[in-house]
Amino acid sequence: MDSLAKLSKLLDEDDFEMLEIYLGRAQNHVKSYCNLSELNETQQEIAEDIAIFNYRNKGVENIVSEGKGSLSESYRNDLPPDLIRRLNQHRRMRFV
């Protein structure tokens, strides 16, 4: 099963064009962060997980918590620590 089909099943979403955008951005993020030119199967799964994370956070503006009395909001600045840890396992150094 290809990545778009997996995302479609996991997210119950039929808009393949939108999923392709999320997946493409996630793949580019993994390549850039890890200094890679192409992704192996494990790295592709990480990109799929990032695409799912970003898709599920659309429209919530990365709000982690929200309070109503005297108004308190917390925002997520980055990917969850487990995704960062998985990315770091594949990160390569770049020599200039």
Residue 1 has a pLDDT of 79
Residue 77 has a pLDDT of 62
Helix, strand, or coil here: 59?
coil
List, in order, residues 6 or more apart from 48 with CB less than 8 Å away: 3, 6, 7, 23, 26
Lowest mean pLDDT among 19-33, 57-71, 77-91: 57-71
**Do 52 and 10 meet the contact criterion of CB atoms below 8 Å apart?**
yes
Q: Give the Cα separation of 2 and 85 in Å (integer).
A: 24
10-61 pLDDT tens trace: 999 889 999 999 999 999 999 999 999 999 999 999 999 999 999 988 866 6
Residue 56 has a pLDDT of 87
pLDDT over 80 (residue 73): no
Q: Give the Cα separation of 80 and 94 in Å (integer).
A: 24
Burial of 9 (0-12, 13-18, 19+ CB in 10 A): exposed
Largest Cα–Cα separation, the chain: 52
pLDDT over 70 (residue 72): no
